[in-house]
Amino acid sequence: MIFKLSPRNSINLKIAFEALLANKVRSILTALGIIFGVAAVITMLAIGKGAQEEILNQIKLVGVNNIVIKPIIEQIDEDITESDEKGEKAKFSKGLDLKDVQSIQRILPTVSQISPEIIIDTYVINNGKRRSAKLIGIETSYFDISNIGIDKGKLFSKWQMENAEPVCIIGSGLKKKFFTGTSALGKKIKCGKQWLTIIGITEEKPVSQKAQDNLGIRDYNMDIYTPIRTVLVRYKNRAKIQADLGGNDDDDDDGEAQKAAIIPFNYNQIDRMVVQVEQSEFLGSTAQVISKMLKRTHNNQVDFEISIPQQLLEQQKKTKDIFGYVLMAIAAISLLVGGIGIMNIMLASVLERTKEIGTRLAIGAKKEDIISQFLFEALLISLSGGLIGILLGILGSSLISIFSDIVTQVSPVSILVSFGFASLTGIVFGISPAKRAAQLNPVESLRYE
């Protein structure tokens, strides 16, 4: 076999190596196409892999098969104002509330669980330290849907949930801030005007700034979680405030209802609702049914927005995949150009070394030896170019991550693939020059000037 390192092939490899060393500049220039091609392949695959991992991490952050429902306060205010200017009576909407949660859970068989949230911007005080924080009123399903584990302590009990007990679970970031080096369990922390007893601490969940901006999520590690009834009883119940201000919407003589309706305040009892669907294929249809249900119960007012983070992320992934394929095609073209460069240089080398080839054939070298020699030369160029390209690709991927917000991840598979393509390029584009050299007539080669 040609590539078996027999004594004859060892000699052929040595001759090929010496020929490359004798023409260092030409060898380096020939390898440039392979170098940049391999570096481009590794860098593009690293960008694609990083994008894929980033999407998967974001899906883990928002949870699987989730539908997110939020109120649209600004749009409601504008619609009400417009109807008021036309002399029409503004329609009353109760906004998102716990009754919506119960209806969805009771009616839709595709829903596995729901997590309503009340979000209050407040402050936290402990041992003279104060900082702003978000108090999140939740049910225990929140932790399962949001993929947040409890590091220490326990979840809220049914009794604590039903009786609006002043208890809380704090994020790992708040624990480090207020209870450095000590246990936080069982201690009280002042959240707003209320003192809450800490019964649990969440596991740390890294959330990048890009993920927060892209998905509209918070830094979970800096939140305080308390039972949703605790918020409604001890802090704020917007549904009750709205009922006090709204009056009777059917009384045409009473202008107070319409006047209160256009007051720009958040009258939604809950700020966010996450609906988890049993199977991903039901996401779209379930979202449509939820939209119709809410519109009907909200007096035909579209004062809410429904989004499916998983579908949005999957669409982003498809877009990035297409972009990655385009970049990969460009990188493959670079390798192709590098291979053509090898073939051109090798053909020129055959022409320049015709007399050398004739001398080798005259003293007993076989055609297989000549083929091996030139294949080894092409292979050495492509392999050395591949190794340098791998180093440049890894370095380029690191620099992209450092100096931009693009996440890159170099995988061993990308290195093997690019190195394999580099080797294959050397062999494929080296065969033609090698065969041409072996077919030279020894007598005519010795006479060649």
What residue type is 395 in one-letter code?
L
Residue 251 — very low, low, confident or very high, per pLDDT cuts 50/70/90? Answer: very low
Beta-carbon-side half-sphere exposure of residue 69 (alpha carbons within 13 Å)? 31
pLDDT tens digits, one per residue of 298-319: 888 888 888 877 666 666 666 6
pLDDT given at position 438: 67
Tell me if 118 sits within 8 A of 230, measured CB to CB: no
| CA dihedral of 8, 9, 10, 14, whole degrees rounded to 10 | 110
User: CA-CA distance, 85 to 440, in Å (whole number)?
Assistant: 95
Minimum mean pLDDT range among 121-135, 197-211, 252-266: 252-266
As a whole number, mean pLDDT of residues 175-200 equals 90
Which pair of tokens denotes residue 15?
Answer: 């001759």
- Phi/psi for 244 (5° steps) reads -70, -35
Q: At what angle do helices 354-362 and 309-352 cross, to 10 degrees?
A: 70
Looking at 193-285, which runs of residues are DSSP E strands? 194-202, 223-227, 272-277
Which pair of tokens denotes residue 320?
Answer: 């990035």
What residue type is 438 in one-letter code?
A
Strands 111-126 and 272-277 come out as antiparallel
pLDDT given at position 258: 44
pLDDT tens digits, one per residue of 55-82: 666 666 666 688 888 888 754 444 444 4
pLDDT given at position 250: 41
Higher model confidence: residue 140 or residue 249? 140
Distances (CA, A) of 187 to 182, 228, 412: 10, 20, 48
pLDDT given at position 75: 45
- Phi/psi for 264 (5° steps) reads -80, 80
Q: Quote the mean pLDDT of the chain.
A: 77
pLDDT given at position 215: 56
As a whole number, mean pLDDT of residues 269-293 equals 87
pLDDT tens digits, one per residue of 391-428: 998 998 888 888 877 778 888 887 888 788 777 877 77
As a whole number, mean pLDDT of residues 114-124 equals 91
pLDDT of 231 above 80: yes
Minimum mean pLDDT range among 73-87, 143-157, 317-331: 73-87
pLDDT of 441 above 80: no
Strands 272-277 and 66-71 come out as antiparallel
Distances (CA, A) of 267 to 262, 390, 405: 11, 59, 38
pLDDT of 249 above 50: no
As a whole number, mean pLDDT of residues 178-197 equals 90
Which pair of tokens denotes residue 264?
Answer: 């720009």
Highest-scoring range by mean pLDDT, 45-54, 172-181, 245-254: 172-181
Length of the chain: 449
Tell me if 320 sits within 8 A of 405, measured CB to CB: no
As a whole number, mean pLDDT of residues 331-337 equals 74
Beta-carbon-side half-sphere exposure of residue 430 (alpha carbons within 13 Å)? 23
pLDDT given at position 196: 93
User: CA-CA distance, 238 to 121, in Å (whole number)?
Assistant: 14
In the three-class reduction of DSSP (H, G, I as helix; E, B as strand; rest coil), residue 195 is classed as strand
Q: What's the pTM value of the predicted model, to 2 decimals? A: 0.60
pLDDT given at position 257: 42
pLDDT given at position 1: 40
